[in-house]
Each structure stands twice: as C-alpha cells, then as structure tokens.
C-alpha cells in the first residue's frame, strides 16, 4: 500500500509529472468563498463556476473539472451545513462518510484509468480538517483505506509557515 506523501507548498501548484487531480471539500449549501476555494478561484475560474452550476449538492458526490491540459479539480461534497459557516452547530460540518464515499469513487475511477493506461496522481490540502472542522487523523485513515490501498499516489500540501 502506498503512503501519503506530505510536502510544503501550494496544492494549486501540484508537483510531479503526468496527469494530476486536485481534490478539495465543498459544502452542500452552495457557499463558496472561504478556505482553499479562494486559492482555487485565484488560479482558475472553472471549479467555482462548475460548483455554482450544480443543481443539487449531494453529500458524497464529486464533480471533476478540467482546468489545464494535465490538471483537473475534484469538487467533493463532504461538508454539511445550514449556512456557509454555521458556528452554532453542535457537530462540525465535515461528513466523514461522504468523504469516504467520494474517495471510493475516485479510487474506482483511478482503477479504470489505470487499465486504460491513463494514470493520474492525487493532490490536496488537508481536506476536511480546516473550516469543515474534521480530525485530520480520521481523514488520513480514510485516504489510506480508499486511495492509497488502491495504489493511487497521494500528495498532501501544507502551506509554508
């Protein structure tokens, strides 16, 4: 089983050769404007445009958006909230089951792509553990059990301090 590779850098500028998929977590209420999405929107307009065009935001669903010849962004619906940033909620907005479901879909898609000789690598910030309020150790385990176990190369980015 592959291990997650941790690097210091910007997930919107993924390192390495070949096709890359940048995964990030979105909410299910259509709110886009805080956290990692700001960096995405500064670099590319397509992910926000695609997210806002979605008719429904269903937990566990993904939307893949091509942003460059060898780079796509995965809008992963893994955060539930009644408002964009509901600070009165008892539970944090992250939904681990939704993230796991979505990453299983990505792992399945990876297996199909690999069969077709179209490998890609996964790049992400520490999804679900920022504004979504999730525990990184839980999310890290989900990534290992879904993507890494499927043989997907995963790089997680931490911004320089």
DSSP one-letter code for 94: B
Is residue 68 predicted with pLDDT exceeding 50?
A: yes
pLDDT class of 19 with cuts at 50, 70, 90: very high
Q: What domains are there in the chain, each with its CATH number?
A: 5-158 (3.40.220.10)
Mean pLDDT of the region 139-152: 96
Residue entry with tokens 């553990």? 129
pTM score, whole prediction: 0.94
Is residue 87 predicted with pLDDT exceeding 80?
A: no
DSSP labels, 42-88: HH-SHHHHHHHH-S---TT-EEEEEEETTEEEEEEEEE--SSTT-TT
Round to whole Å and give the CA distance between 75 and 62: 6
């Amino acid at each position: 089983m592959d291990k997650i590779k941790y690097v210091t850098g910007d997930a919107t500028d993924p390192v390495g050769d070949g096709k890359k998929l940048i995964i990030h977590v979105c909410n299910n209420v259509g709110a886009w404007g805080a956290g990692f999405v700001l960096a995405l929107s500064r670099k590319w307009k397509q992910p926000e445009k695609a997210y806002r065009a979605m008719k429904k935001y269903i937990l566990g669903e993904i939307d893949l958006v091509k942003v460059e010849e060898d780079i796509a962004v995965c809008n992963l619906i893994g955060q539930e909230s009644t408002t964009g940033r509901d600070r009165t909620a008892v539970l944090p907005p992250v939904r681990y089951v939704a993230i796991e479901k979505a990453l299983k879909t990505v792992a399945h898609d990876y297996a199909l792509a690999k069969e077709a000789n179209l490998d890609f690598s996964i790049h992400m910030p520490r999804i679900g553990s920022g504004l979504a309020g999730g525990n990184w150790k839980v999310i890290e385990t989900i990534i290992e059990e879904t993507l890494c176990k499927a043989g997907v190369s995963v790089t997680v980015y931490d911004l320089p301090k």
